[in-house]
Amino acid sequence: MYSIENLIKTALNEDIGSGDITTDNLIAPDLAGRGVVVARENIVVAGLDVACRVFECLDPEIIFRPECKDGDTVLNDKVILKVEGKLRNILMGERTALNFLQHLSGIATHVRSYVNILGDRKVRLVDTRKTTPGLRVLEKYAVRIGGAFNHRMGLYDGVLIKDNHIAACGSIKKAVQNIRDNVSHLLKIEVEVSSLTQVRDAIEAGVDVIMLDNMGLDMIKQSIKYIDKRSLVEVSGQITKDTLNQMADSGVDIISVGALTHSAGSVDLSMHIEHV
């Protein structure tokens, strides 16, 4: 079972190990302090609860005071949060808390830039399974905070018949029939296609969603015309900010972009200490 608590504890253990040699030898055990986290660029915040839990794992008596909420746009030099308590524990948790905040806020900020390009278009922007191992739940949460949506969370919660499945089964028709014979009727079936012939095969098989993978714009438009609303249409592969609106205006229902997670950088945050 996935546990954010275990993930946080693993991250803390990775950083602290047998103890913080520097802090333990410089800071008195009962010395109190306040840590103030500041944005060093304009960002969309994500991960405040995770950062809070980092400090709570070290010291349940630490007081966590967010100055904003996840999803807020925070400008350069603005305070994001304050944390008060024993200074040793604040310093030991600083890097782990910031690592989570910087990474998740980086994804949310990156995703928001795509969402802003799409404006009020009705197309749904979704992520993929191209996530950092062990961090999928958190990264997909950050995608939602940024304003986009999640595709399936993993292999367990959605049927997506890809090219290698089709190759192994021999055809789209056989793959779809095998799925229907073995899974609940409540599950929708999506098939990845890369040619007009496969589009026709998917329609004849009666699938719910057709993913147009790595197709050029002309072929996408031909496919949409042929599908004629008989299934939802998703487009994926080599989609950039420069081509995003073209894809959205082509008539597709869903745009999936792996770059929402795998190409997002961390934002710049810093913490300074104040005595209390």
Please work out, in degrees rounded to the nearest 5, the angle formed at the alpha carbon of residue 185 by the alpha carbons of 179 and 186.
120
Catalytic residue among 84, 192, 201, 234: 192
The Cα–Cα gap between 105 and 102 comes to 5
The Cα–Cα gap between 30 and 65 comes to 21
The Cα–Cα gap between 4 and 50 comes to 8
Please say if 95 is a catalytic residue: yes
User: Do residues 162 and 193 lie in contact, with contact meaning Cβ atoms separated by under 8 Å?
Assistant: no
Q: In 3-state terms, the chain is what percent helix, strand and coil (to 5)? A: 45, 20, 35
Do strands 73-74 and 43-44 pair parallel, antiparallel, or not at all (unpaired)?
A: antiparallel
Catalytic residue among 130, 152, 180, 200: 130
Site of tokens 């009020």: 120
**In sequence order, what are the beta bridge partners of 210?**
191, 233
Please say if 192 is a catalytic residue: yes
The three-state secondary structure class of 221 is helix
The three-state secondary structure class of 18 is coil
- 3-class SS string, 127-156: CCCCCCCCCHHHHHHHHHHHCCECCCCCCC
Please say if 213 is a catalytic residue: yes
User: Do residues 159 and 179 lie in contact, with contact meaning Cβ atoms separated by under 8 Å?
Assistant: yes
Please say if 162 is a catalytic residue: yes
Catalytic residue among 9, 129, 144, 162: 162
Other Cβ atoms within 10 Å of 6 Cβ, number: 11
Burial zone of 236 (CB within 10 Å; 0-12 exposed, 13-18 middle, 19+ buried): buried
Catalytic residue among 95, 129, 144, 152: 95
- The DSSP letter of residue 187 is S
Q: Which active-site residues does the annotation give? A: 95, 130, 162, 192, 213
